[in-house]
Amino acid sequence: MDGNGRWAKERGWPRLKGHEQGALNVERICEACIDEGVEFLTLYAFSTENWKRPAHEVAGLMLLLERFLSEKVAMMNRNGVRLTAIGRIADLPGPARKRLERAIGETAHNTRLTLTLALNYGGRDEIVDAVRSIAAEVGERKLDPSQISAETISNHLYTRTMPDPDLLIRTSGEMRISNFLLWQLSYTEIHVTRKLWPDFGAEDLHAAILDYASRDRRYGSSVENLPSPSNAS
């Protein structure tokens, strides 16, 4: 969700104002995803690298997260949105972590859209954590090293209960993956838009999905018309 800071700077406002507008946009995009039939939406909300930002900005982002979770649970329940989270959640500040856990519990019964917030998330860290978990099972003789496969690794990632993404949308014209879902994005289609995240609306989501639908997904094969996954993300 890139461009919050630039959106605020263009208006002469502090960066946190841009983050506030970005948080408000989440509801609009959730509703648009439901209208489009998207079943999984994952938002890169706070990376492990974001801790390096100025302390006042990080503190403001954590307070914004708490406020978002407090104010948007009713919206999520109204629209059938189930909230989940991936990342090193245990390292979040206590109040934010507890509010997140409460919101996850309060929306657990919803089935129309799974909204996953990537919080204190890094793709390399996720793979490191998966390797540590696998190594522990090998050490406990629960797993034979010769049996380790790509499926084994997938089953130890934060996203093990989710399908791999079909579509990655980068706002604000960024042309990099930025340490996001490094394992899962192997065959994901990428759509880049110059729209800043606070300005990214339902019509932009629809355009991205149309772009995705026009592509021939071969998954590394030369065979035409391979079936695409039944789940969208």
Q: 225 to each of 214, 217, 219, 221, 233, how far by Cα in Å?
A: 12, 7, 10, 10, 20
What is the three-class DSSP state of 117? strand
Indicate if 2 belongs to the active site. yes
Catalytic residue among 4, 50, 77, 199: 50
CB of 42 within 8 A of CB of 59? Answer: no
Residue type, 91: D
CB of 172 within 8 A of CB of 6? Answer: yes
Residue identified by tokens 């995009």 is 29
Q: 212 to each of 16, 167, 196, 222, how far by Cα in Å?
A: 32, 7, 20, 19
Indicate if 50 belongs to the active site. yes
CB of 69 within 8 A of CB of 100? Answer: yes
- Residues with a catalytic annotation lie at 2, 50
